[in-house]
Amino acid sequence: MSQEPPEKMMFQLTLRRRGISDLAVLRTMEEVPREAFVAPGDRGHAYRDSALGIACGQTISQPFVVAYMTEQLQLQKNHKVLEIGTGSGYQAAVLSRLCAHVLTIERYRTLADAARARLEKLGYYNIEVMLGDGFDVPAGAGDFDRIIVTAAMEQIPDNLLQRLQPGGILIAPVGPHHGTQTLVRVVRTESGFERKELVDVRFVPALRGIAREL
């Protein structure tokens, strides 16, 4: 009988110690099999609280950041969520357990195809994976109750903010592409947008267009 790695046994405790208190988020983090979303060679480290490399030079965010961003979205079961930057599909899987539908956009075909197949195999049927440019979300996709950006933007484009429903929340890492960013939480109010800076993070850059390779 294989023994779970120490990181898996400490997983929930680490998240709680770092301030994650939403029970629905904690339960979802426990239920989504993170080891299915990392590279085969990293499965023994899947529950360590650190980012891990995936294909196309991208990363799967550390568990705390995934949990923290999810908690800050204050998701409800009827929400429609947009994610910019699918990566391995892990963040989308977490979101999907807490809302009605997730549209996740990825610029790398390799990642989009792999995430789509992985999510279907695992039974996450309320997620749509789209190959596309996160800076140019198709008009036909409609508006969203929540938007989460999982790559660094030097600034949040106005056309993305305009896709938020009234009362909607957007969270994104904002700052220089090569350095430290700040997680920013934006709420759409009747009078405009309320912006709050949260914590410092490090994400790979959000780039325009669909990748020509991979």
- Does the structure show a pLDDT above 70 at 207? no
Q: What is the pTM of this model?
A: 0.91
pLDDT of residue 1: 43
pLDDT tens string 166-206: 999 999 999 888 888 889 999 999 989 999 998 887 776 66
> What residue ranges do the domains of the chain occupy?
6-201
Instruction: Identify the active-site residue in 50, 61, 96, 191.
Output: 61
Residue 61 is among the residues annotated as catalytic for this protein: yes
Rounded to whole angstroms, the Cα distance separating 175 from 159 reads 18
Cα distance between residue 43 and residue 23, in whole Å:
25
Task: Render pLDDT for 92-139 as a digit per residue (tens, 0 to 9).
Answer: 999 999 999 999 999 999 999 999 999 999 999 999 999 988 778 888
Domain 6-201 has CATH 3.40.190.10: no
Q: How far apart are CA 202 and CA 198, in angstroms?
A: 13
Nearest alpha-carbon partner for 153 in 113, 205, 95: 205
> What pLDDT was estimated at residue 6?
65
| pLDDT score at 205 | 63
Element (H, E) at 181: strand 181-189
**Half-sphere exposure for 146 (CA within 13 Å, toward CB):** 26
% of the chain beyond a pLDDT of 70 = 91
